Amino acid sequence: MPSHQTVVAKIGTSSLTNDDGAVDEQAIVKLCAEVAELRGLGYRVVVVTSGAIAAGLPELGLGGDKRPTDSITLQAVSAVGQLNLMRVYKAAFADHDIVMGQALLAPLDFTIRSQYLQARNTLERLLELDVVPVINENDAIADDEIRFGDNDRIAALVAHLVSAQQLVLLTDTPGVLTADPRIDDSASLIEEIVEFDQQLESAAGSAGTVRGSGGMASKVSAAKIASWSGVRTIIAHAARDRVLCDAVQLESGVGTVVVPRRSTLGARKLWIAFALGSSGTVTVDAGAKQALQTSGRSLLPAGVASVAGTFDIGDAVEIAGPAGEVFAKGLVRQGSQELAANAGKKSGELGDGVATAAIHRDDLVMLP
C-alpha cells in the first residue's frame, strides 16, 4: 500500500441510531475502533458523520413520536445534538489514543475558491498533525436553498477536497441491490459498478428512512460524484464486522464497489454537475449542441431554441438538445426572461450590457 493513502468514511443516521431514533453509542465505538485499525495499517482517515439531530432529540424531550418535522426546529435540535455527538466520538477515539477534530462544512465552502482552499488547507493540516477530522454539514445555520440536505454528497466532495483514494459509504444495507429486498426476494448484491445507467439508478430507489435524509439513491449519486473525481467508492453495511478495513482492502462481497473514471472533473464542475439543483431547462439547436460537445464552446443566445422554468443569473440549468435529451448543465449569465427574449439572436443583435454568453464554457459541464 502506498504511504499516506487517504480514506473518507461516511456513516449515516440510520446506521448510528437505534429504533427509538436516539444515537447508538456502540455504533460509534465500532466505527472508531475500525478507524483506529485502518490508521494502524498506515492510512489517513477522514470521517463524515450524520446523527446531530438524533443526538439532540432526547435532550430536548422530542424523541420518538414527538420528533418535529419543520426545518427550523430540526436545525435548532442539531445545534444541541452536535455537542452530544462529538462527545461520543471524542470518548471513543480517546480509547485508541486518537485525537479528533470537528469541522462543519457548508456548500459555499466548495464553490467559493477562497473558502475551498481554506477548507482544504485546514483538513490537510489536521491530517498532518495525526488528527482524525470528523465532518458534518453545518445544519444549525444552513439555508434550505443552499444546503446539501444529506452527508453523502458532502463525503464525495470531501474525498475530492482531501485527494482521497477511496470513499466508503456505510449504510444499513449490504450495498446496491438489483431490487428492493422488501418487495423482491430475488434481490441480489451488485458487487461492481463501472458505468451508471437508468436501470441501475432505478434499482437504487429514492429516499431513505424516517431518521435519515439520504437513502441508496443519494449514495449512488455521491458515488457518481466520487467516480468523476477519480475516487473509488465502496457502499457497504455498517454493521458488518471489520467493514471499514474490508472495504478499503476490497474484500470480496464486502459491498458495492464503484470504479473511478479515467477522465475527471475539477471541484467546481463537480459541484455544478452533481450538487446543484437545476432551476430550469435551456433547449438548444443541433448546431449549438455539436459546438458545445465537440468544440468546448460557450453557449450563445443564438443557439438557444427555447427556455423552460424560472431562473436568475448564476442559477444552474440543464441543457437539452432538439429532441429534449439533457446532455449538459451550467450556470446562466442571463435570467430566464432575458434569455427567452434573446433566444436565437446573434451577438450583434443583443442590447447594451447584455452578457454575450448565455452560459460561459467555464461554467458548463457535459454530463455523463
Q: What percent of the chain has pLDDT over 70?
A: 90
pLDDT band at 3 (very low <50, low <70, confident <90, very high): low
Residue 303: pLDDT band with limits 50, 70, 90: very high
Note whether 238 and 302 are same-domain residues: no
Q: Which of 10-24, 55-69, 299-313 has the highest mean pLDDT?
A: 299-313
Residues 6+ apart with CB under 8 A from 174: 189, 236, 237, 240, 255
pLDDT greater at residue 202 or residue 124: 124
CATH code, 356: 2.30.130.10
Taking the model in full, what pTM does it have? 0.82
According to the model, what pLDDT value does residue 255 have?
94
| Domain boundary residue, one of 246, 269, 292 | 269
Shared-domain flag, residues 333 and 190: no
Specify whether 263 is located in the same domain as 327: no
Domain co-membership, 83 together with 199? yes
The pLDDT of residue 340 = 94
pLDDT at position 218 over 70: yes
pLDDT at 273: 82
Asked if residue 344 and residue 238 are part of one domain, the reply reads: no
Domain boundary residue, one of 248, 269, 290: 269
Is residue 305 situated within a structural domain?
yes
The pLDDT, as a whole number, for residue 6 is 96
pLDDT in tens, 171-197: 988 998 887 777 877 788 889 988 876
Higher per-residue pLDDT: 337 or 177: 337
> Do 193 and 230 share a domain, yes or no?
yes
What does the pLDDT average to over 345-356? 84
For all residues of the chain together, what is the average pLDDT?
A: 87
Quick check: helix, strand or coil at residue 105?
A: strand
pLDDT band at 208 (very low <50, low <70, confident <90, very high): very low
> Cell 443526538 maps to which residue?
55
Asked whether residue 263 is assigned to any structural domain, the reply reads yes
User: Which of 34-48, 58-72, 236-250, 279-293 has the weakest average pLDDT?
Assistant: 58-72
- Confidence bin at 212 (pLDDT 50/70/90): very low
Residues 124 and 202 reside in one and the same domain: yes
- What total of structural domains would you count in the chain? 2
What pLDDT was estimated at residue 91? 97
Model pLDDT for residues 255-273, shown as the tens digit of each residue: 999 999 887 787 778 778 8
Contact 240/31 with Cβ under 8 angstroms? no
Question: Is residue 213's pLDDT more than 60?
Answer: no
In 3-state terms the chain splits into helix, strand, coil percentages (rounded to 5) of: 40, 20, 40
For the cut 90, the answer to whether the pLDDT of residue 22 exceeds it is: no
- Give the per-residue pLDDT at 207: 45
Residues 53 and 123 in one domain: yes
Give the lowest-confidence range in 103-112, 190-199, 210-219, 351-360: 210-219
Backbone angles phi, psi at 159, to 5 degrees: -60, -40
Most confident residue range from 92-106, 144-158, 350-364? 92-106
Would you say residue 150 has pLDDT above 60? yes
**Is the same domain home to 199 and 307?**
no
Q: What is the pLDDT of residue 307?
A: 95
If you average pLDDT over residues 139-152, what whole number do you get?
Answer: 60
Instruction: Give the pLDDT of residue 333.
Output: 94
The pLDDT score that the predictor gives to residue 5 is 92
Burial status of residue 141 (CB atoms within 10 A of its CB: 0-12, 13-18, 19 or more): exposed
Q: At a CB cut-off of 8 Å and minimum separation 6, what does 184 contact?
A: 178
1 located within any domain: no
Question: What's the start-to-end Cα distance of the chain, in Å?
Answer: 31
Look at strands 304-309 and 255-258 and give their pairing. Answer: unpaired
Q: Tell me, what's the pLDDT at 317?
A: 95
Whole-number pLDDT of residue 41: 94
Q: Are 250 and 286 in a shared domain?
A: no
- The yes-or-no verdict on residue 309 having pLDDT over 80 is yes
| Structural domain harbouring 286 | 277-366
pLDDT at 205: 60
pLDDT value for 106: 80
Residues 6+ apart with CB under 8 A from 346: 302
Q: Are residues 289 and 225 in the same domain?
A: no
Q: Are residues 54 and 196 in the same domain?
A: yes
The pLDDT value given to residue 143 = 54
Q: What is the pLDDT of residue 146?
A: 41
Check: CB of residue 127 under 8 Å from CB of residue 46: yes
pLDDT tens track for 266-296: 777 877 887 677 899 999 999 999 999 998 8
What CATH number did the domain enclosing 99 receive? 3.40.1160.10
Q: Is residue 39 part of a domain?
A: yes
